[in-house]
Amino acid sequence: MRRLAVHDYLKDAADAAKLTDEQLLAILRRIGDPEHPTGFEQAVLDEMERRHLRPS
């Protein structure tokens, strides 16, 4: 089970890394509950932090 979770995390991170800055910001605006993001939403937040992006 843990192996699957790591795989999902890495897949989400890879998918988020492929997105443009504009796409990341658009997804950020659609996150329903920023305190409890889904796995992919967390990957988007992590990628934005890695790129030093800030919401406009």
Residue-range domain boundaries for the chain: 2-50
> Is residue 1 scored above 70 in pLDDT?
no
What value does the mean pLDDT take over residues 7-24? 96
Amino acid at 40: F
User: Contact 44/19 with Cβ under 8 angstroms?
Assistant: yes
Provide the phi-psi class of 41: left if phi over 0, else alpha when psi is between -120 and 50, else beta. Answer: alpha
Q: How confident is the model at residue 7 (pLDDT cuts 50, 70, 90)?
A: confident
Q: State mean pLDDT over 6-17.
A: 94
Nearest-angstrom CA–CA distance, 22 and 29: 11
pLDDT at 18: 99
Of residues 4, 16, 3, 7, the one with CA closest to residue 44: 16
> DSSP 3-state assignment of 7?
helix
**Res. 4: pLDDT tops 80:** no
